[in-house]
Structure 1
């Protein structure tokens, strides 16, 4: 098919193609318009709470936590042993708040052991 004004009536063919493109776009927009609607505030809040619960479920699953405060302190101790010491949960035994497997270097069930600086023998 030859396009352009030199073909005689080419502008008409371009208009037909543009109209077909618009119809295809309109059909596509109608088909997928439900994805453009924003969530309601309630739906968004439920979705965010669900995501947070899924993220926190595994770390909190193996620890005996009796209150929300214990859960907060346990999560505050998660970055490293220094953080566990800062919130007062070190040393922690397996199953207690403040115990994280990543803090237990020798896998003996006690995380964030107190460290003693070796001074050495002076003569």
Structure 2
């Protein structure tokens, strides 16, 4: 497993893009302007920062900021189902990622994403 990206919600997407590109100086890796929302991925030395437009239905959804990529997605989800953690439904998003949000036994959220279906191409 490895960290794939960290995501930050942006209530003002245009102002956030300006900040990360023009003030911080991050390089754009990829942009998406379709459904379910716009997002921009910035290069962080192998890890990406994903800035996404924070719109309904995502607003207030408890969306995770950490995505962990795994080659053994189904096995990891099954192990989580048998543990004290809480696992949500496996979803395939419109952008192509096959993901599962997990709440660890202490309530911390993160997402597992299937290496073979991460939708980042």
| TM band (smaller chain) | under 0.3
Q: Which has the higher contact order (CA 8 A, sep 6+)?
A: 2
TM-score by length of 2: 0.23
Q: Which has more strand, going by share of residues?
A: 2
TM-score by length of 1: 0.23
Structure ID, larger Rg: 1
